[in-house]
């Protein structure tokens, strides 16, 4: 079986292509698997030499438990596996002895109408199940639920500053600053409102250069009082204006009472003014 042309990338792809061929052959040989598609960056034709292999397989719900019971044997026939992680009954992550990564997701054929055809590249589909897939996905703006969730979690994290600083827990505070930065990145990704933003390791191709420059300019995080405080406030200076703008765009309710309470809390406990 040839690797689909859209999945091919330049440079150091031979081992991954061989893995994909072996995986496709193993999936095709199992009669419980009705179809398989390449997804992720390779399925979108946007892969590079660092991309992992993501595959979606169609298997009837009644057949899935037995298939998962057999899965270690099937995956082991593709390559020596050094790590496997099963996420419920829908996804299995793998790392091979050559440190190639491949993930397999399972979907019932009856659920294909709920999935977009975007970014799916057929590996085999003898029954034409792709016809059941929905049309191209589209997003007109950020999701209100995501904006609300990210905003409230960011405010909650900032509200813990007096606790970690009051207890001199600077290592914990450094972890909190990293989490605040992660929430900021997730909010910036939500601003893009891409139907399929890809994984966390595709950030540079997703965010505008201005946003990447803002993230790069954030102060480094160290386990000191000064660094923990500066890192949180720098993230807040970017997060809060963007969150308010996205709340207006998406129709999310702005947690004004929570923001006001946080301002008073930080001023009272730390003498710190929360950025507007």
Confidence at residue 6, expressed as pLDDT on a 0 to 100 scale = 47
pLDDT in tens, 212-262: 999 999 999 999 999 999 999 999 999 999 999 999 999 999 999 999 999
- The two structure tokens encoding residue 138: 């589209």
- The CA-CA-CA angle for residues 60, 46, 117, to 5°, reads 35
pLDDT in tens, 92-141: 999 999 999 999 999 999 999 888 888 899 999 999 999 998 876 666 68
Confidence at residue 46, expressed as pLDDT on a 0 to 100 scale = 77
Confidence at residue 119, expressed as pLDDT on a 0 to 100 scale = 83
- The two structure tokens encoding residue 83: 């790590």
- Topology adopted by domain 5-132: Beta Polymerase; domain 2 (3.30.460)
Beta strand ranges found along the chain (DSSP E): 33-39, 53-59, 81-87, 91-96, 101-107, 121-124
Q: Rounded to whole angstroms, how far apart are CA atoms 9 and 47? A: 6
By mean pLDDT, which of 46-50, 88-92, 206-210, 259-263 is the weakest?
46-50
Confidence at residue 51, expressed as pLDDT on a 0 to 100 scale = 86
Confidence at residue 195, expressed as pLDDT on a 0 to 100 scale = 58
Confidence at residue 10, expressed as pLDDT on a 0 to 100 scale = 46
Residue 251 contacts residue 140 (beta carbons within 8 Å): no
pLDDT in tens, 172-227: 999 999 999 999 999 999 998 765 655 555 788 789 999 999 999 999 999 999 99
Among 176, 174, 185, 171, smallest CA distance to 155 is for 176
Residue 245 contacts residue 151 (beta carbons within 8 Å): no
Confidence at residue 68, expressed as pLDDT on a 0 to 100 scale = 94
pTM comes to 0.78
CATH code at 144-270: 1.20.120
Sequence length of the chain is 276
Confidence at residue 216, expressed as pLDDT on a 0 to 100 scale = 97
pLDDT over 80 (residue 156): yes
Return all residues near 204 (Cβ < 8 A) that are at least 6 apart.
Answer: 212
DSSP 202: G
Q: Rounded to whole angstroms, how far apart are CA atoms 200 and 87? A: 18
Tell me the domain boundaries of the chain: 5-132, 144-270
Residue 55 contacts residue 38 (beta carbons within 8 Å): yes
Cα separations in angstroms, 229 against 126, 179, 191, 235: 58, 13, 26, 10
Return all residues near 176 (Cβ < 8 A) that are at least 6 apart.
Answer: 157, 160, 161, 164, 228, 232
Residue 41 contacts residue 51 (beta carbons within 8 Å): yes
Strand partners, 116: 134
């Amino acid at each position: 079986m040839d690797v689909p042309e859209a999945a091919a990338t330049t440079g150091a792809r031979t081992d991954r292509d061989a893995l994909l061929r072996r995986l496709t052959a193993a999936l095709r040989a199992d009669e419980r698997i009705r179809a398989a598609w390449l997804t992720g960056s390779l399925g979108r034709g946007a892969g590079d030499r660092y991309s992992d292999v993501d595959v979606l397989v169609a298997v009837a719900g009644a057949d899935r438990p037995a298939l998962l019971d057999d899965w270690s044997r099937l995956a082991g026939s593709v390559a020596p596996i050094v790590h496997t992680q099963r996420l419920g009954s829908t996804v299995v992550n793998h790392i091979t002895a050559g440190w190639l990564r491949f993930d397999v997701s399972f979907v019932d054929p009856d659920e294909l109408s709920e999935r977009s055809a975007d970014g799916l590249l057929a590996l085999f589909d003898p029954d034409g199940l792709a016809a059941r897939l929905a049309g191209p996905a589209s997003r007109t703006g950020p999701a209100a639920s995501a904006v609300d969730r990210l905003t409230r979690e960011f405010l909650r994290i900032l509200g813990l500053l007096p606790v970690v600083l009051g207890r001199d827990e600077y290592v914990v505070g450094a972890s909190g600053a990293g989490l605040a930065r992660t929430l900021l990145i997730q909010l910036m990704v939500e601003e893009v409102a891409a139907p399929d933003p890809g994984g966390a390791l595709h950030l540079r191709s997703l965010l505008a250069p201005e946003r990447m420059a803002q993230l790069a300019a954030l102060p480094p995080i160290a386990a000191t009082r000064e660094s923990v405080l500066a890192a949180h406030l720098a993230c807040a200076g970017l997060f809060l204006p963007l969150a308010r703008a996205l709340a207006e765009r998406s129709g999310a309710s702005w947690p004004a009472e929570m923001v006001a309470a946080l301002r008073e809390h930080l001023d009272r406990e730390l003498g710190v003014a929360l950025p507007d």
